[in-house]
Amino acid sequence: MPDLYPWLEPLRDTVAAALQQGRLPHALLLTGQPGSGKTAFSNYVAQLLLCQQPAAAQSPCGSCPGCIQFAAGGHPDYFYVTHAVDDKTGKVSREIKVDQIRALAGKLVMSSHHGGYQVAILNPAEAMNKNAANSLLKTLEEPSDNTVLVLVSACPARLPATVRSRCQQLKLEIPERQLALEWLQGQGCNEAEAQTCLQLAHGAPLEALRLAQSGTVEARREHFGALVGILERRVSPLTVAQGWSKDEELQAIHWMREWLMDLIRIRMAGRAGQIRSADLQDGLVTLAGRLDQRVVFELLERINRMLRLTAGTLNRQLLTEDILLAWAAQR
Ligand SMILES: [Zn+2]
């Protein structure tokens, strides 16, 4: 029996009760911010439906043929649809394509192998292109018996209203802060790290854990230190720009943008109560006292412009240099 994240238990009970009472809708739309546990929950629902002898009503037994096949990734009545992969190049598409939805529909009209439910998960559902979504509508309008579709989406607003309206939406809420902190510490985070990462993840525990495990807190501290180093003439802005622009996602620039907004918040509120980057509070308060507010606004504008412009590697490095030279000019 798979362990479910503790903050998902109330929602699990809701789904299990609906299933027991025979009123589980044939299409669910699981929503919630990244890192709230949508994928894990959709798996759980799938296994619950495919279990041939649910021991406690709300949990799959973990030992029947259905559960074992599901755990091994080979249950014949379970279908998982995600971003298309090009057969020749192996490249992952940004989209779920119409052929995938047609293939799924073709399987769902057949009767189930084990005589029970057929379960399909679409994750992330908003990746469906227009044709794929249109094709799915037919399946949603004329569902086969004992078929459950689970659409998983962090941004349901990007799904067509026609698709949304045919699903019952279940929203995964982020847990109470204390529960999330305890869970993170149970995963090996220390208390300070758990607090910082949870804040950076806007309360979503799995995202917080990912941040903790990927060394994000240290990386932020290093990047922030580089900015201070530039102001103190210890580090060359061009050297820093070279390092920062290697990252295609430009994470450092996104962080710098957050920090500039925190500098504005500190100046406006006159205290550090409402800042986002609590992990760097002391450094930010010091900087806020040092920098001209007008200049901070200008830098912010420059970054916003850059983030709209970046494309190729060369462009990225030039634009990063441009920002850090402007930053360096403040010293
Ligand atoms: Zn089972």
Q: Output the pTM of the full model.
A: 0.80
Ligand 1 center to 128 CA (angstroms):
31
| Distance from the alpha carbon of residue 120 to the mean position of ligand 1, in angstroms | 18
pLDDT of residue 227: 96
pLDDT at 57: 64
pLDDT for the residue 2: 52
C-alpha torsion angle, residues 251, 200, 155, 13 (rounded to 10): 150
- Both 142 and 34 in one domain: the answer is yes
pLDDT at site 162:
96
Q: Is residue 314 part of a domain?
A: yes
Residues 231 and 136 both lie in one domain: no
* Residue 266 alpha carbon to ligand 1 centre in Å: 55
d(CA 307, ligand 1 centre) in Å: 49
Q: Are residues 190 and 233 in the same domain?
A: no
What's the gap in Å between 134 CA and the centre of ligand 1? Answer: 34
Q: What is the pLDDT along the chain (331 residues), one digit of tens a residue?
A: 457 899 999 999 999 999 888 899 999 999 999 999 999 999 999 999 999 886 656 788 888 999 999 999 989 999 999 998 888 888 888 899 999 999 999 999 888 888 889 999 999 999 999 999 999 999 999 888 899 999 999 999 999 999 999 999 999 999 999 999 999 999 999 998 899 899 889 999 999 999 999 988 889 999 999 999 999 999 999 999 999 999 888 999 999 999 999 999 998 887 656 788 888 989 999 999 889 989 999 999 999 988 888 656 668 888 999 999 999 988 6
Q: For residue 50, what is the domain's CATH number?
A: 3.40.50.300
C-alpha distances in Å from residue 135, one per residue of 84, 99, 104, 141, 300? 16, 9, 10, 10, 43
Q: Is residue 91 part of a domain?
A: yes
Q: Do 81 and 192 lie in a common domain?
A: no
Q: What is the pLDDT of residue 9?
A: 92
pLDDT value for 1: 46
In a domain, 1, yes or no: no
- Same domain, yes or no: 251 and 208: no
Q: Could you tell me the two tokens for 121?
A: 């998960």
Which bin fits 82, alpha (ψ -120 to 50), beta or left (φ > 0)? beta
Domain co-membership, 37 together with 82:
yes
pLDDT of residue 278: 82
Number of separate domains in the chain: 3
CA of 205 relative to ligand 1 center, distance in Å: 28
pLDDT, position 114: 83
Angstrom distances, CA of residue 306 to CA of 129, 292, 322: 29, 21, 9
> How far, in Å, from the CA of 64 to the mean position of ligand 1?
4
Cα-to-centroid distance, 60 and ligand 1 (Å): 5
- Please tell me the distance from the alpha carbon of residue 77 to that of residue 110, in angstroms, as a whole number: 10
Q: What are the tokens at 180?
A: 């999330």
Residue 138 lies in a domain: yes
Cβ neighbours, 10 Å, residue 153: 24
The boundaries of the domain holding residue 191 are 177-213
- Judged on CB neighbours under 10 Å (0-12, 13-18, 19+), 169 is middle
One domain, residues 34 and 136: yes
Ligand 1 center from residue 130 Cα (angstroms): 37
CA of 145 to the centre of ligand 1 (A): 21
Does one domain contain both 140 and 276? Answer: no
Q: For residue 279, what pLDDT is reported? A: 85
182 and 270 belong to one structural domain: no
List, in order, residues 6 or more apart from 209 with CB less than 8 Å away: 35, 184, 187, 189, 197
